[in-house]
Structure 1
Amino acid sequence: MSSRPPPTEQDMSENTLEAPGAPASMLDAVKVYLRPSVLVVILLGFSSGLPLALTGTTLAVWMTERKVDIATIGLFHLVGLPYTLKFLWAPLVDALDVPLLSRWLGRRRGWLLATQLLLAAAILYLGFQDLGFAPSADGTRMAAPFGLIVGAVLVAFLSATQDIVVDAYRVEKLDTSEQAAGMAGYVAAYRIGMLVSGAGIIALVAWFEFKGLPHAQVWAWGYGVAAACMALGIFATLIAREPDGAPRVAHEGGALGALKRVFTTAFGAFSEFLTRSHAFAILAFVTLYKFSDALAGGLTASFVISIGFDKATYAAIVKGVGLLAALAGGFAGGMLARGRSLVTCLWIGGVLQMASNLAFSVQAMIGPDVGFLTFAMIVENFTGAIGTVIFVAYLSSLCGARAHTATQYALLTALTAVGRTVLASGGGYIYDVTGWAWFFVVTVIAGLPGLALLGWLQARGHFRELGAKG
């Protein structure tokens, strides 16, 4: 229990992520990243980000190199469905223990270790499917082996499950003074994990080929290295400590009792959330807050290439400079969250991520100017990362019931995926009507409903209620 005095009404209305009192010094702001619980969350962020590209960009490059037809490669995007549907099996994580491991490590860490070990094995299995490619009947293209499909689905499913557990662990383990740093470090490490499994593994495979490794084995070795990188997440799980008050249940009733606990947990998680004040407005806000960012981001690559930049420039600026800006923005968002109220941070992040899209409108009018593209990407990635860290803070604050943390957080992140995928899927049709310059103006306008909901929730005391629960 905290020894600080009870929060005043003003404190609760602000709902800060840092304990009230004198502003933290820069040294204190840096030292919080060295706390064991925060370091564990950062390492788990790397482990969560690592598998994503292995069933996305990296897999697409692998299949393209093996001359699989583009239509088949496009269908492999469906492999990512577990990330959207993960709330369906999240109640299992809240309701059940993993045999032996949960008794040894606790429920959250038991689930983490089991998922990470299986995930490493699935990545290794996926990599060894390289030998299964076979020419089509006409000999003009290759057919993706069935084992590749199975391996990709397994990796995506286990990766989504790991995300469920990591999110629950992070929300439950970090105290108020650690949330901002933990979120910033988690987001930064997640992006680094994606970079390692994306550009890193692709570059490593190219190096293997340069060194003379047999062509049919290079991807197996590349995915083998990726599987070995899961050791970092496993190490984090082993040195971590189970959150205080993590849910534990009795195991009476056998399989029927376990099934009943799962359904009871699922019903309890959804009903607890939906009976809150303004529940449906909260869900709509969660869906729409990042919509402006998602609508623009879905066509950024097409925009950059179509106005005259080559792929090398795109890779160097968007994936290179953009990544560094995103990492800096993540830590800036963490610093912002430590000293400002949650609702103020949401306003700042929302406005910044909307306004930054206008840089692309200017880029469309200027044309292929490398200097301005660098500026636009720095602004976009920096402000987008600030918005992401603040938004994750808000989602975490909504998951107060320990028995339902995994289920409720998975539901909320699934709704953000709706905004990123379903709602943003019509961006190409908007561009056909408006052209690039006005398209990015439209993306700014698309962010207004989210800000309107933010103002509506603030006026009705939603953030005071969150502060009172904290």
Structure 2
Amino acid sequence: MTLFVLLGFSAGLPFYMFSTVLSARLAKHGLDIVLIGFFGWVALLPTFKFLWAPLLDAFAVPGLSRVFGKRMSWIITAQIGIVTAMVAMAYTSADTNLPLVALLAVLLAFWTTTLEVAADGWRVELAPTAAEQGPLTAANLWGYRTAMAASSLVALTVADRAGWVWGYLAVALLAALPLPILVSLAPAARGVGRRTTALLTGLVAIAVLLLGALAFFGGFGWVALQLAIAAGISAKSNATVAVLVLCLVPFVLMAVALPWIVRLPATAWARRSTWLGPYVNIFWRFGYRVLPLLGFVTFYRMGDVLTLWGVKPLEIAAHYDLTTMGIADGFVTTPSSMAGVLVGATLAVRLRMSRALMLGAIGSALGNWIFVWLWHVPPNGLAIYTATAVDQFAHGMEGAIFVVYLSLLVNPRYAGAQYAFLSGFAFLLPRLLQGAGGEIVKSIGYDGFFWLSGTLSLAAVLFLPFIAGIRARDEETV
């Protein structure tokens, strides 16, 4: 449990920096709310983590894995990538070169997600039942949400006094602190010479991986930027309709492919493939009920994701200063979210899962609607502290229930890849809408935005009758 608190902290710290804190920074620099919304699409990258998750299941970091093991070798590599990207974001925090800022935010998101994939796969392998998942999930989310609070408190309060460069550097230092503890968990090597050679090989491999990620996302980003310019996309563009159409595409493709997948024999290449097999296995095991299942997970975290993007621009527009915002996140978020996670993990273990999921959805809706009240009251400390407490408790409870539920859907044979797919798919629609959040706010205001996001999260309840008691097919009998 101590290990998963630490891993949760390591993942939660950078996540807030490329999502919520970045939106606050851009808002403070006077960027148009639509452009800030476009930056919300950086958070789409974790949605596609299933593309590289099988690599983390199948391969280890050369050299490093001989000393630390496969999962830990990726975790340490990701930690170094996180610190490097965050330092780079510090020295571009004037936001005068937005494409470079976007590239560094994407790199930070990539390494954060890589750490999560390795840690999630490890957790599912260690705890295959609900009774075992509850405590580990609570530990992981305690660390995660504590780190989110710490990053916001440190980044915003330091930035308010010394500027954004020092705000980001301070959080980069916090991100580096877990690394020596993780290194200390390594088993003893059999020979000093072999250990030294393995570590040197590992350092070279880390450097190659960091430079490779920079080159890949730099090239991909340049092409994407040229295509956007050619298409005439700008802060005045209305992307909402296109985003909603994109949201339907995955469901259409899955519906078309399902009749073929459910008939596949065990010898079919699609079921045996190292890359495709883990994902085909999900659809094969759950059959046609996978469609309402994925519809449910898509809506369930809607409120949580949209709140993360919209809350800081709302608070700045409501004339709260960075220090007050940081105090709310730092001293209110931690106890509130930890209490919510504890309640959620307990409900997931002790109640029928459908009932626990329903309570989580109701809580998530309330956690969004509280910001409608915050928008309409005069700015004061009590109001922002109350809204933060309700939001963090509700989404902490909902998140804990959801993580346990997803973990139970996963086939332990493909722990990392399948959890990456399910958790990534759960955030696809919310993060697509997040990128169009600026346009939505311009159309219906901040109060309308939070009414809408809470209602969408509550809509997940409509799927529960179709997925309650869902059971996977037994691969041994088919």
TM-score (norm 1): 0.68
SS of 1:292's equivalent in the other structure is: helix
Aligned ranges 1:303-342 → 2 under 5 Å: 303-342=314-353
Pick the aligned partner of 2:55 from 89, 92, 112.
Answer: 92
8 A Cα contact 1:317 1:377, kept in partner: yes
Which residue of structure 2 lines up, in the alignment, with residue 357 of structure 1?
Answer: 368
Q: Which moved more, 1:341-350 or 1:192-201?
A: 192-201
Which residue of structure 1 lines up, in the alignment, with residue 80 of structure 2?
Answer: 120
Percent identity between the two aligned chains? 26
8 A Cα contact 1:68 1:144, kept in partner: no
Separation (CA, whole Å) in 1 of partners of 2:93 and 2:310: 34
Aligned ranges 1:251-262 → 2 under 5 Å: none
Separation (CA, whole Å) in 2 of partners of 1:456 and 1:233: 43
Which residue of structure 2 lines up, in the alignment, with residue 265 of structure 1?
Answer: 274
Map Cα deviations across residues 107-162 of structure 1 (whole Å, 9 max, x no partner). xx42322441453266247637877x799xxxxx955897x877655443232211
**CA 1:51/1:237 → structure 2, altered by over 3 Å: closer, same or farther?**
farther
Pick the aligned partner of 1:191 from 120, 130, 145.
Answer: 145
Letter paired with 2:324: T
1:160 aligns with 2:113: yes
Aligned ranges 1:19-30 → 2 under 5 Å: none
1:374 aligns with 2:392: no
Map Cα deviations across residues 374-393 of structure 1 (whole Å, 9 max, x no partner). 33332221111100100011
Letter paired with 1:273: I
SS of 1:265's equivalent in the other structure is: coil
Which residue of structure 1 lines up, in the alignment, with residue 70 of structure 2?
Answer: 110
**CA 1:234/1:156 → structure 2, altered by over 3 Å: closer, same or farther?**
farther
What's the offset of the Cα at 1:77? 5.8
Which residue of structure 2 lines up, in the alignment, with residue 416 of structure 1?
Answer: 426
Which residue of structure 2 lines up, in the alignment, with residue 30 of structure 1?
Answer: none
8 A Cα contact 1:329 1:381, kept in partner: yes
Q: Which moved more, 1:427-436 or 1:411-420?
A: 427-436
8 A Cα contact 2:78 2:114, kept in partner: no
**CA 1:394/1:74 → structure 2, altered by over 3 Å: closer, same or farther?**
closer
1:383 aligns with 2:332: no
8 A Cα contact 1:42 1:186, kept in partner: yes
Which residue of structure 1 lines up, in the alignment, with residue 125 of structure 2?
Answer: 172
Map Cα deviations across residues 223-257 of structure 1 (whole Å, 9 max, x no partner). 35633432234445669xxxxxxxxxxxxxxxxxx
Separation (CA, whole Å) in 2 of partners of 1:113 and 1:333: 31
Where does the alignment leave 5 or more consecutive residues of structure 1 unmatched? 1-37, 136-140, 240-259
8 A Cα contact 1:399 1:409, kept in partner: yes
Pick the aligned partner of 2:136 from 168, 182, 194.
Answer: 182
8 A Cα contact 1:52 1:197, kept in partner: no
Separation (CA, whole Å) in 2 of partners of 1:117 and 1:200: 24
Q: Which moved more, 1:308-317 or 1:343-352?
A: 308-317
Separation (CA, whole Å) in 1 of partners of 2:380 and 2:184: 45
**CA 1:310/1:104 → structure 2, altered by over 3 Å: closer, same or farther?**
closer
SS of 1:383's equivalent in the other structure is: helix
Which residue of structure 1 lines up, in the alignment, with residue 238 of structure 2?
Answer: none
What's the offset of the Cα at 1:433? 5.0
**CA 1:236/1:197 → structure 2, altered by over 3 Å: closer, same or farther?**
farther
Letter paired with 1:191: R
Separation (CA, whole Å) in 2 of partners of 1:308 and 1:398: 44
What's the offset of the Cα at 1:346? 0.5
Greater helix proportion = 2
Letter paired with 1:423: L
What's the offset of the Cα at 1:186? 0.7
Pick the aligned partner of 1:226 from 158, 175, 193.
Answer: 175
Which residue of structure 1 lines up, in the alignment, with residue 357 of structure 2?
Answer: 346
Map Cα deviations across residues 243-286 of structure 1 (whole Å, 9 max, x no partner). xxxxxxxxxxxxxxxxx999812221111111223112211111
Separation (CA, whole Å) in 2 of partners of 1:75 and 1:428: 8
Q: Which moved more, 1:340-349 or 1:115-124?
A: 115-124
8 A Cα contact 1:288 1:447, kept in partner: yes
Map Cα deviations across residues 19-42 of structure 1 (whole Å, 9 max, x no partner). xxxxxxxxxxxxxxxxxxx22222
Separation (CA, whole Å) in 2 of partners of 1:186 and 1:55: 20
Letter paired with 2:276: F
Separation (CA, whole Å) in 2 of partners of 1:113 and 1:181: 24
Which residue of structure 2 lines up, in the alignment, with residue 446 of structure 1?
Answer: 456
Separation (CA, whole Å) in 2 of partners of 1:143 and 1:283: 38
8 A Cα contact 2:357 2:402, kept in partner: yes
TM-score (norm 2): 0.67
RMSD between superposed Cα atoms in Å: 4.3
Separation (CA, whole Å) in 1 of partners of 2:156 and 2:447: 34
**CA 1:468/1:300 → structure 2, altered by over 3 Å: closer, same or farther?**
farther
Q: Which moved more, 1:447-456 or 1:387-396?
A: 447-456
Separation (CA, whole Å) in 2 of partners of 1:435 and 1:130: 31
Which residue of structure 2 lines up, in the alignment, with residue 279 of structure 1?
Answer: 290
Which residue of structure 2 lines up, in the alignment, with residue 51 of structure 1?
Answer: 14
Separation (CA, whole Å) in 2 of partners of 1:313 and 1:217: 18
Q: Between Structure 1 and Structure 2, how many residues are aligned?
A: 392
